Amino acid sequence: MNEELEKLEANAVAAIQAADSNSELQDVKVRFLGKKGEIGKQMATLKEMPHSQRKAFGKALNELKGRLINATEEKKKELEEKALKKKISAESLDITLPGFRFPTGRLHPLTRVWHEITDVFIAMGFDVVEGPEIETEWYNFEALNLHSEHPARDEQDSFYLGENRLLRTQTSPVQIRVMEKMGAPPVQIVAPGRVFRRDATDASHSPVFHQIEGLVVDKDITMGHLKATLEAFNKEIFGKDILSRFRPDYFPFTEPSCEVAISCIICGGEGCGLCKRTGWIEILGAGMVHPQVLKNAGFDPKKYSGFAFGIGIDRVAMLKYSIDDIRLLYENDMRFLKQF
Amino acid sequence: MQVPVEWLREYVDFEDIPIEEVADKLTMAGLEVGEIYPERFGYENSYVGRVTNVSEHPAKPGFWILTVEDDTRGNTVLTNLREFRVGEIIPIGYEGFILPDGMKLESMKFGGETSDAKILSEADVEYSDNAEVILPLPESAKVGDCVPDAIGITQEVFKFDLTANRGDCLCVLGIARDLAAVLDRPIKKDVFDFELETKPLDIDFSVTIKAPMLCPRYSGRVIRNVRIEESPLWMRRRLVCSGMRGINSIVDVTNYVMIETGQPLHAFDLDTLQKRAIVVRRAIAGEKIKTIDDTDRLLDPYMLVIADKTRPVAVAGVMGGAETEIEGDTVNMLLESAHFQPRNLRKTATGLDMRTEASVRFEKGVNPDTTVKCSDYASYLIAKMGWGTPLDGLIDKYPKPVKPKKISLNPAKVQKFISPDIEPSEMEGILRRLDFVVEKPEKGKILKVTAPGHRFDIAIWEDLAEEIARIYGYNRVPSVMPKTLIHRAVMTPNQAGNRKLREILAGCGLSETITFSFTNLKELTRIWPDKTPVAVPILNPLTEDHTHLRPTLVPNMLKTIARNRANSPDVPLQLFELGKVFMDPENPAEEDALCIGVCGRSLRTPTKTDYNFQLPVYYVIKGIIEQFIDSVTPETPSFRPADNVLYHPNRSAEIYLGKEKIGELGEVHPEICANFDIRHVTAVATVDIAPLKAILDREPRYEAISRHPALARDISVIVPENVAARSIEEIICRYGSDLLERAYVYDVFRGEKIGEGKKSVTFALEFRAVDRTLTDEEVNPIMEKIIFFVRDEAGGTLRTS
Ligand SMILES: [Zn+2]
C-alpha cells in the first residue's frame, strides 16, 4: 500500500474520530466515502494505473473502504449512544412530585356493608328482595301483631304521610309481602332497605337508618336452624373466632324471640368500653315466626314454621369500622368517606 | 324497673351466688339486667376525711374551724360539737349532700367564716334522730370512701330493661318469681299471708261500673282516720332504691305495694266524693279534670274516668284528681284497687301525654286475680303502721271473672320446634316452676297447661315453647343448618342494577354519599322559586328541616358539597348519591334516582406550570357523565341546551341517549351556589337510572371488527363562536358514508389568525372498510363532499395548514 493511501486512511480515521455529531459524521462520510470523495478519487486513478499495480492497489483500496465504512458505523453507533445518554440525562424528573391522577371513587361504608351482608346470605341460598319505604299500617304494624295500642309501638314512633300511610319503621313488612307474593313455601329471603323512626338524632340514634330482614319458612323449620344460620352469618361478617349468644327477647311477630349478641370484637369477651364490660355486643333480633303472622300472610301455621331476623346495617358498619357516632354515616364528610 | 337486691332476697335465697351471676342468669332468661348500680340515697356527696388543721373561730367562742381532706378533696368545716385533733378520721358531707328534710347542703357563712361542708351526724343519714352524735365509722372505713359505702348502707340495685310483654315483672314479686324459676329454688315468702283486722263499716258508699269492657274489676275499701306523716326509713329507702321518692305515709304505702306486687292503687278522700259514689265510666265530651299535678285536662269521650255522681275524679289508671286527693284532715279514705283494659288505657295516657308509674303497669297488664289481695295488703300495712283503720265491707265489682285458659301442649311438637334434647319431664318441670298448672292426661302425651293469672301474655302453645326454651336456655339449643334444595339465589334485577351502577360510578372517580330522605319547601324554592317540585309532606315532622320527602337529590347534594367545602376548603369533590326520591303527594310513590356533584379542581396536576389547565367544571362533569354512560352502553349520548333555573344558562345541557332524555347536567347557577353557601364553581347532574338499568340487564352483542387498517384524515373548520362543534360533527357524519367509522373533535383553536368571535375546530376522521384496505382514491371524493356541505350548512370556512 502506498504512502498516499496510508495518509488518506490516517486522515479519514482522524476525521471520523473527531466527528462530534451525526451530521459531522455524515460530512466526513461524504468527504471520504461519497461519490466524489477521497476514496472515489483514488478509484478514478485505477484506470491509469499499470496493470501490474492495478490489482493490488484496487484490493488495498477496497479494503480501506471497508475499514472506513466500519469505522463510520462504529462511530455512528457511539454517537447515537452518546446522544441517547444525553437525552435521558436531560429528561430527569423529580420522581416524588404527585402523579397526574383522577380522583378515586369510593362506595359509602353503608353500601359496602350492605353488599357484604347480602353476599353472605346469597352464598347461603337466600334470595335478595325488596319492599317499599312507604308502607301501610297493615304491613308495617297490624300484620306483624303490632296493633295500634301495643306497648312495643313506643319504640317505633313513625312518620305519617296520611291516613294509614307511613314510612316503614322496620324491614319486617317485607316478610308479609314476600309470603303473600310467593303463596307457598319454601321461602328463603333477605330484604335490605331503609327504615325511618321519629327519633331525635344523637350519637346512636338516627331518624333514618338501614336494616336487613331475613325470613325462612318451610316444613319443620326449628330454632336450631335459626341459631346455625345466624352463627354462620356472624362468623362470616365479624370473623371466624366470633362467638354468638342467644337470649330471650320480645318481638310481637316472633315466638319465641331472641336477641343475638356476638363476643366483643375489641376485647374478645374480657370486657371493655365497647361491650360495656359485658364481653358481648348486641347485634340483631330474631325469632321463630309467630303463627298469627304466618296466618296473616296466608300460610298455614299448622303445616309450616319459620324463622325471621332483622340486622341493623348501620350498626354492623359502625362495629366493623369502629365508627362511634351514627351521624358520621350521613354527614358525608370526604375525610370520612375516603377511609373506606 | 329497678329492684333492690335486698328486697329480692326476701323472696328467694341466693346468698351463695354472686349477684353478677344472678343478673346474668336473669338476663339470659329474658329479664335483662341492664345495670347493677349502688344506690346511695342522695348521700353521694360525702366522704371519709382526715382532719388536717384545727383552729378556733376568731369571732365565735366555742366554735372550731377544721380543714378536712382526702386525696382529692378538701373542705372547711365549722363545728361546735367538740374539739378535734389533727389526724382524726370523720364523715363529711359537702355541697349537694341531701339532708333528711330533702334540702341540699350548701355552703354558708358564720361569724365571717365560710363553711362548705358538715360533719355528718346519725340524723344526717337517718340512722337515728340524734343530730348531736357523730356518725360512727367502722374500722374498715378508709379515707376517701363515700360515707354510705363506708357504713354499709349502699345497696345494690338491679336496673332492668324489660321487654314490652313482661308487664308481670314490673314488680319485685314478678322478678322474684322468675328468679326462683331460673334458679329452681322456692319462693320463701307469701306476700299475701297476713291477717287483716278491720272495724265494721258504718257509712254508705257505692261502686258502679258503667264500662265493664274497659274496667273488668274495681274494688274499694274505706280506711278511717288516716294519718299523714313521714314513712319510716326502711320504706323510704326501698322506694328510693326502686326509683321512687318518699312523699308521705299513704302515698308511700300505695307506691310500696305497687312496687312489690305490681298493682297500682289510688286513695280518694271519700267524703269529697259526691254521694260517696264511685262511677267508672267513659268521659263525656267537654269534661275536664284537674289532676294531682295541678294541670287542667280536657277529656275525650274514649277515655275512661273514675267519677262520682257529677264529675270525673280521676283518669282511670293514669292519675287522680286534685279535688278528691287525701289531705291531712281526711277522715274516710277510699282505697281503689282495680283492673283496666290495657289498650284503651294506653291510648288515654298517650292522648293526655301522661305516662305514670300506674299507667305504664296497667297498659302492660295487671293481674286481675289479685286486685283485692293487693288492696288488703295495703290496708294491712296501713293498719300495722298505725296510719289508719281499715273498715270491712270492701266492695269488689268483678262482673265477668277472667277464666283461666287451658292450652294443649304436645311435647313432641316443642322438641321439633325448639330442640329434640328437651325431655318432656323437663318441660313440665319448667312450666311448674313458672307457676303454670300442668295436667297430665291418663292416656296420650298432650299436656293441658293453665297459665297463672299474672301471665296474660300466654295464649298459644308457641308461647309455652318460649317459656320452656328461655328457662332451659337458648344457648343449650343445638345449632343445625337448615337443609335446603340446591337453588340459585338471586338479587332482584333492580338491586343488581343499582349495585352495578354504584360500582361503575365509583369507577368513574365518584365517591358515594348517603343522606336522609327528607327536604323542606324552603330549600326547594331556594333552587326553583317558580316551578318548585311537588314534595310529599310528612304529617308529623320531627324538625323544620325535614318536613317533606325529597322529590330530588339535588338539595342534599348541594348541602353535602357546602359542608365539605366549609370543613376542607381545598379538597376536590366528586360525589354521587343513588337513592330513593318520592313523588305525588296524592298517591305517594318512590323511585331510585341518581345525582352527581362536582366541585373544585378534580384533576390533580403536579405543578401549576407543568400541565395545569383551567378546564371549566362543566367539562369535568360532562366528562364524568360520558365516562359513566360509556361504562353502561356503547351508545353515545348527545347533549342539548338545558332549560332549568338550577343551572348556569350557558353551561348546562340535557342528556340524551338516542331520542330519550335521560338527564341534565351543568354548572349550578352562581346565585343558587351563593344560596347554599358554596363559593366555588359547582356542577351537578341528575340521571334517570331506570333506562340504564334496563341496558345493564341486556347482554352485549359482538359486532364484527375489520381486519383492515383505517385511513385517517382531518379537517379544520373556522366557524363563529356560537356554532356548536356537535352540529359540524353531525354534518360530517351525515356525508361521511358507511366508510366513515369515527369523527371526533381533536382540537379547538382561537387566535388572531382566526379572527375575533371565531374558532377553528379540528376533527379527526377515520375511514375504514370491513372487507378491504381503503385507498385515497376512494376517500378523496367523500372528503370533498364533507367539505362542501360543512361550508354550505355550517357556514364554515376551511382552514388550511
Ligand atoms: Zn369488649
Q: Residue B337's domain is classified under what CATH number? A: 3.50.40.10
Name the H helices within B541-580. 554-567
Give yes or no: residues B526 and B651 share one domain: yes
- Across A284-313, b (16+ Cβ under 10 Å) vs e yields bbbbbbbbbbbebbebebeebbbbbbbbbb
Q: List the single residue in B with minimal CA-CA distance to A229.
A: B481
- Chain B: closest CA distance from residue A83 (Å): 25
DSSP H or E run through B784? helix B776-794
Q: Which of A46-55, A244-253, B130-139, B188-197 has the lowest mean pLDDT?
A: A46-55
> What is the model's pLDDT at position B604?
53
Nearest-CB residue to A133 (from B474, B485, B580)? B580
Reduced to 3 states (helix: H, G, I; strand: E, B; else coil), residue A39 is helix
**Taking 80 as the threshold, does the pLDDT of residue B606 lie above it?**
no
In tens, the pLDDT along B546-597 reads 999 999 999 999 999 999 999 988 788 999 999 999 998 888 899 999 999 9
Q: List the single residue in B with minimal CA-CA distance to A337.
A: B511
CA of A120 to the centre of ligand 1 (A): 25
Give yes or no: residues A83 and A213 share one domain: no
User: Which strands sit side by side in the sheet containing B638-641, from one edge to the other?
Assistant: B511-512, B573-583, B589-599, B682-687, B660-668, B647-657, B638-641
> For chain A, what is the mean pLDDT?
92
Q: Is B159 exposed, middle or buried (0-12, 13-18, 19+ CB in 10 A)?
A: middle
> What is the model's pLDDT at position A231?
97
Give yes or no: residues A78 and A164 share one domain: no
Shortest CA distance to B512 belongs to which of B560, B548, B550?
A: B560
CA of A281 to the centre of ligand 1 (A): 8
**Taking 50 as the threshold, does the pLDDT of residue A120 lie above it?**
yes
| B481 part of a folded domain | no
In tens, the pLDDT along B456-511 reads 889 999 999 999 999 999 999 999 998 877 888 999 999 999 999 999 999 999 99
Are the CB atoms for A114 and A191 separated by under 8 Å?
no
Give yes or no: residues A281 and A157 share one domain: yes
**At how many degrees (to 10) do helices B357-364 and B249-261 cross?**
30
Q: List the single residue in A with minimal CA-CA distance to B475.
A: A246
- Across B767-800, b (16+ Cβ under 10 Å) vs e yields bbbeeeebeeeebeebbeebbeebeeebebbeee
Q: How confident is the model at residue B443 (pLDDT cuts 50, 70, 90)?
A: confident
Shortest CA distance to B312 belongs to which of B333, B287, B275?
A: B287
Show the domain range for A41: 2-90
Interface membership of A12 toward B (CB under 8 Å): no
CA of B15 to the centre of ligand 1 (A): 29
Mutate to test the interface with B, among A222, A225, A302, A336 (most CBs of B within 10 A): A222
Compute the half-sphere exposure of residue B380: CA atoms within 13 Å on the CB side of its CA: 14
In tens, the pLDDT along B659-680 reads 999 999 999 999 999 999 998 8
Q: In the structure grid, which three cell numbers stand for residue B647, read together?
A: 343551572
In tens, the pLDDT along A249-302 reads 999 999 999 999 999 998 988 888 888 888 999 999 999 999 999 999 999 999
Give yes or no: residues A81 and A213 share one domain: no
Give yes or no: residues B304 and B431 share one domain: no
Shortest CA distance to B188 belongs to which of B321, B325, B9?
A: B9
Q: How confident is the model at residue B610 (pLDDT cuts 50, 70, 90)?
A: very low
Give yes or no: residues A298 and A189 share one domain: yes
In tens, the pLDDT along B181-199 reads 999 999 999 999 999 999 9
How many domains, in total, are found in chain A?
2
| B385 part of a folded domain | yes
| A97 part of a folded domain | no
> What is the model's pLDDT at position B341?
94
In tens, the pLDDT along B55-78 reads 999 988 889 999 999 999 999 999
Q: Determine, for residues A288 and B462 on separate chains, whether the beta-carbon distance falls below 8 Å.
A: yes
Q: In the structure grid, which three cell numbers stand for residue A227, read together?
A: 341459631
**Average pLDDT of the residues in B4-27:** 95
Show the domain range for B743: 711-798
Going by the DSSP 8-state scheme, the letter that residue B101 receives in this structure is: T
| B661 part of a folded domain | yes
Share of chain B above pLDDT 90, in %: 77
> What CATH number does residue B460 fall under?
3.30.56.10
DSSP H or E run through B52? strand B46-56
Give yes or no: residues A12 and A148 share one domain: no
Q: In the structure grid, which three cell numbers stand for residue B711, read together?
A: 385511513
> What is the model's pLDDT at position B602?
55
DSSP H or E run through B470? helix B461-472
Cα-Cα-Cα-Cα dihedral sign, residues B605, B611, B614, B619: negative
In tens, the pLDDT along B305-337 reads 999 999 999 999 999 999 999 988 889 999 999
CA of B95 to the centre of ligand 1 (A): 36
Q: Determine, for residues A248 and B30 on separate chains, whether the beta-carbon distance falls below 8 Å.
A: yes
> For chain B, what is the mean pLDDT?
92
Give yes or no: residues B240 and B256 share one domain: yes
> What is the model's pLDDT at position B605?
54
Give yes or no: residues B113 and B88 share one domain: yes
Give yes or no: residues A305 and A208 share one domain: yes
Give yes or no: residues B687 and B722 share one domain: no
Give yes or no: residues B339 and B389 share one domain: yes
> What is the model's pLDDT at position B601?
66
| B200 part of a folded domain | no
Residues in B closer than 8 angstroms to A132, CB to CB, are 590
> What is the model's pLDDT at position B609?
45
Give yes or no: residues B606 and B526 share one domain: yes
| A303 part of a folded domain | yes
| A99 part of a folded domain | no
How many domains, in total, are found in chain B?
6
Residues in A closer than 8 angstroms to B487, CB to CB, are 125
- Across B331-370, b (16+ Cβ under 10 Å) vs e yields ebbbbbbbbbbbebbbbbbeebebebebbbbbbbbbbbbb
Give yes or no: residues A131 and A277 share one domain: yes
Give yes or no: residues A35 and A139 share one domain: no
Give yes or no: residues B299 and B329 share one domain: yes
> What is the model's pLDDT at position B800?
63
- Chain A: closest CA distance from residue B34 (Å): 10
Q: How confident is the model at residue B613 (pLDDT cuts 50, 70, 90)?
A: low
Q: How confident is the model at residue A45 (pLDDT cuts 50, 70, 90)?
A: confident
| B195 part of a folded domain | no
Whether the ω angle into residue A256 lies within 30 degrees of 0, i.e. cis, is: yes
In tens, the pLDDT along B396-435 reads 999 999 888 899 999 999 999 999 999 999 999 999 999 9
> What CATH number does residue B622 fall under?
3.30.930.10
Reduced to 3 states (helix: H, G, I; strand: E, B; else coil), residue A125 is coil
Cell 277464666 belongs to: B403
Q: List the single residue in A with minimal CA-CA distance to B542.
A: A198
- Chain A: closest CA distance from residue B606 (Å): 5
User: How far is Cα A302 from Cα A328, in angstroms, rounded to an integer?
Assistant: 47
Give yes or no: residues A56 and A162 share one domain: no
**Taking 50 as the threshold, does the pLDDT of residue B611 lie above it?**
no
Q: Do the bridges between strand B312-315 and strand B288-291 make them parallel or antiparallel, or are there none, so unpaired?
A: unpaired
> What is the model's pLDDT at position B488?
86
- Chain B: closest CA distance from residue A274 (Å): 15
Q: Strand pairing partners for B597? A: B575, B684
- Across B738-753, b (16+ Cβ under 10 Å) vs e yields ebbeebeeeeeeeeee
In tens, the pLDDT along B763-785 reads 999 999 989 999 999 999 999 99
Mutate to test the interface with B, among A97, A108, A156, A290 (most CBs of B within 10 A): A108
Q: Is A123 exposed, middle or buried (0-12, 13-18, 19+ CB in 10 A)?
A: exposed
Q: In the structure grid, which three cell numbers stand for residue B685, read together?
A: 347532574
Reduced to 3 states (helix: H, G, I; strand: E, B; else coil), residue B471 is helix
Q: Which residues lie below 8 Å from residue B354, measured CB to CB, with a gap of 6+?
A: B291, B297, B315, B318, B319
Q: How big, in percent rounded to 5, are the helix, strand and coil portions of chain A?
A: 45, 20, 35
Shortest CA distance to A24 belongs to which of A64, A84, A32?
A: A32
Q: In the structure grid, which three cell numbers stand for residue B648, read together?
A: 348556569
Q: List the single residue in A with minimal CA-CA distance to B501.
A: A107
Give yes or no: residues B466 and B518 share one domain: no
DSSP H or E run through B425? helix B424-433
**Average pLDDT of the residues in B340-365:** 94
- Chain A: closest CA distance from residue B228 (Å): 35
Cα-Cα-Cα-Cα dihedral sign, residues B459, B460, B466, B467: positive
Mutate to test the interface with B, among A93, A159, A163 (most CBs of B within 10 A): A159
| B477 part of a folded domain | no
**Average pLDDT of the residues in A318-339:** 95
Alpha carbon of residue B679 to chain centroid: 36
| B91 part of a folded domain | yes
Q: How many residues does chain B have?
A: 801
Q: Of B397, B418, B445, which residue sits at a domain end?
A: B397
> What CATH number does residue A140 fall under?
3.30.930.10
Q: Determine, for residues A133 and B416 on separate chains, whether the beta-carbon distance falls below 8 Å.
A: no
- Chain B: closest CA distance from residue A92 (Å): 14
Cβ–Cβ contacts within 10 Å for residue A50, how many?
Answer: 7
- Chain B: closest CA distance from residue A2 (Å): 58
Give yes or no: residues B275 and B362 share one domain: yes
Q: Determine, for residues A115 and B603 on separate chains, whether the beta-carbon distance falls below 8 Å.
A: no
Residues in A closer than 8 angstroms to B479, CB to CB, are 224, 227-228, 231
Give yes or no: residues B600 and B729 share one domain: no
Q: List the single residue in A with minimal CA-CA distance to B487.
A: A125
In degrees rounded to 5, what are phi and psi of residue B329?
A: -100, 10
Mutate to test the interface with B, among A117, A118, A178, A223 (most CBs of B within 10 A): A223
| B196 part of a folded domain | no
Interface membership of A207 toward B (CB under 8 Å): yes
User: Which strands sit side by side in the sheet containing B277-282, from one edge to the other?
Assistant: B206-209, B277-282, B304-307, B312-315, B319-320
Give yes or no: residues A43 and A120 share one domain: no
User: How far is Cα A329 from Cα B32, in angstroms, rounded to an integer?
Assistant: 30
User: How far is Cα B159 from Cα B147, in angstroms, rounded to an integer?
Assistant: 23
Q: In the structure grid, which three cell numbers stand for residue A11, read together?
A: 486522515
Nearest-CB residue to B363 (from A104, A126, A151)? A151
Give yes or no: residues A153 and A34 share one domain: no
**Taking 60 as the threshold, does the pLDDT of residue B242 lie above it?**
yes
Q: Determine, for residues A228 and B480 on separate chains, whether the beta-carbon distance falls below 8 Å.
A: yes
Share of chain A above pLDDT 70, in %: 100
Cβ–Cβ contacts within 10 Å for residue B158, how many?
Answer: 26
